[in-house]
Amino acid sequence: MAARVLDGIKIRDEIFAELKGEIARLAGEGIRPGLAAVLVGENPASQLYVKSKIAACERLGLASWMHTPPASISTDQMLRLVQDLNHDNAVDGILIQLPLPSQVDTKRVLEAVDPAKDVDGFHPANLGRLVSGRPGLIACTPAGCMEILRRNGIASEGANAVVLGRSDIVGKPMALLLMHANATVTVCHSKTRDLPGMVRRADIVVAAMGKAGYVQADWIRPGAAVIDVGTNKVTDAKEAESLLRNFPARLQKFREKGSLLVGDVHPDAVNTAGALTPVPGGVGPMTITMLMSNTVKAARLRRGKASSTPGAAQSSAGAR
């Protein structure tokens, strides 16, 4: 039987509807949450991402600002811009679109962001809060994965969860969130022995490796829930044919377009998993959604108000 599709677009729409209510309540208190995005240089992919984030702000009625310094900007100039945004009271969230040019010290810039405005959840202070289960701003992609599980009634408590990847922005925070939700978590990486064996034990698999179709369908325990974070662009015809051998309609689309987006999990897993996020349309829409949620949450928390935004309770080990 084909896996249940865990539709990120449907959940995005649900959360946007909830956020609209929260934003209207804040408006009643004279507060309009605002996001400042910093887009350095002219990387087309980054331009597209920032454009979608600003469009989401506009859709929800949040204030937004876009700063577009040239690719030649220095670390000191970036630090000054971040300080200005830290001091601007209209700005609740600061988003530094990555990657930054090589001459800019990315870590220093990210650490200069006021943790209270760190809507990407990348600041060490927010990561520390997540480790210790205290309220803070949580990285958007893992927070979005948790919303997908929660809103589809997939229980984390007692589940064996396997996270593939240990990056600071996805794998590590994901593992912490699952642990706080009382899953038993195994984190795998490029040095893990017997990856298929690890995956076979999992009730919940979160794949965040950046390897197109790497996780084979027969690694997935029948009925397991699979959250596929990977977003990989495939342009090679042979690779596309091997990935989509059982999906003629998608293969035809690839032939027309010359490229396709696939996750880290082989598309054939739709026949073994119990539930699966599609790529595209699964985790992707949730990342921007949680950025919006974090901006509203930051607007409340900065003013000492309790937050009721989606995902607000996750870092405080709500399930314990």
- Looking at beta carbons only, is 81 or 212 nearer to ligand NAP? 212
Judged by CB under 6 A, the stretch of 75-83, 162-170, 178-186, 196-204 that binds ligand NAP is 162-170
- Looking at beta carbons only, is 91 or 164 nearer to ligand NAP? 164
CB proximity list for 262: less than 8 A, separation 6 or greater:
212, 213, 230, 232, 234, 243, 279
Please say if 264 is a catalytic residue.
no
Could you tell me if 44 and 56 are in contact, meaning their C-beta atoms sit under 8 angstroms apart?
no
- Looking at beta carbons only, is 26 or 209 nearer to ligand NAP? 209
For the chain, the C-alpha Rg in angstroms (whole number) is 20
The distance of closest approach from Cβ of residue 282 to ligand NAP in the complex, given in angstroms and rounded to an integer, is 8
Please say if 114 is a catalytic residue.
no
Q: Within positions 227 to 266, which residues make up the interface with ligand NAP, using CB under 6 A?
A: 229-232
When asked if residue 8 is in the footprint of ligand NAP (CB under 6 A), the reply is no
When asked if residue 208 is in the footprint of ligand NAP (CB under 6 A), the reply is yes
When asked if residue 34 is in the footprint of ligand NAP (CB under 6 A), the reply is no
Please say if 51 is a catalytic residue.
no
According to CB under 6 A, which one of 104, 283, 291, 298 is a site residue for ligand NAP? 283
In the chain, what are the helix, strand and coil shares in percent, each to the nearest 5? 45, 15, 40
According to CB under 6 A, which one of 82, 113, 195, 270 is a site residue for ligand NAP? 195
Tokens standing for residue 101: 């040019």
Could you tell me if 305 and 254 are in contact, meaning their C-beta atoms sit under 8 angstroms apart?
no
Which candidate in 92, 117, 118, 120 is catalytic? 120
- Parallel/antiparallel/unpaired status of strands 63-67 and 34-38: parallel
When asked if residue 309 is in the footprint of ligand NAP (CB under 6 A), the reply is no
Q: How many other CB atoms are found less than 10 A from the CB of residue 22?
A: 20
d(CA 18, CA 42): 34
When asked if residue 312 is in the footprint of ligand NAP (CB under 6 A), the reply is no
When asked if residue 311 is in the footprint of ligand NAP (CB under 6 A), the reply is no
Count Cα neighbours of 206 within 13 Å in the Cβ-side half-sphere. 31
The distance of closest approach from Cβ of residue 233 to ligand NAP in the complex, given in angstroms and rounded to an integer, is 9
The distance of closest approach from Cβ of residue 243 to ligand NAP in the complex, given in angstroms and rounded to an integer, is 14
According to CB under 6 A, which one of 43, 106, 160, 167 is a site residue for ligand NAP? 167
Tokens standing for residue 213: 């179709």
Query: Strand pairing partners for 226?
Result: 205, 276
The distance of closest approach from Cβ of residue 164 to ligand NAP in the complex, given in angstroms and rounded to an integer, is 6
Judged by CB under 6 A, the stretch of 84-92, 115-123, 226-234, 290-298 that binds ligand NAP is 226-234
What is the CA angle 209-202-156, rounded to 5?
100
Name the closest residue to ligand NAP (Cβ).
Answer: 167
H-only helix segments in the chain: 8-28, 44-60, 75-87, 106-112, 124-131, 140-151, 171-180, 195-200, 237-243, 248-257, 283-302
> Which residue ranges make up the site for ligand NAP (CB under 6 A)?
141, 164-167, 169-171, 188-192, 195, 208-211, 229-232, 283-284, 287
Q: Which residues are known to be catalytic?
A: 53, 97, 120
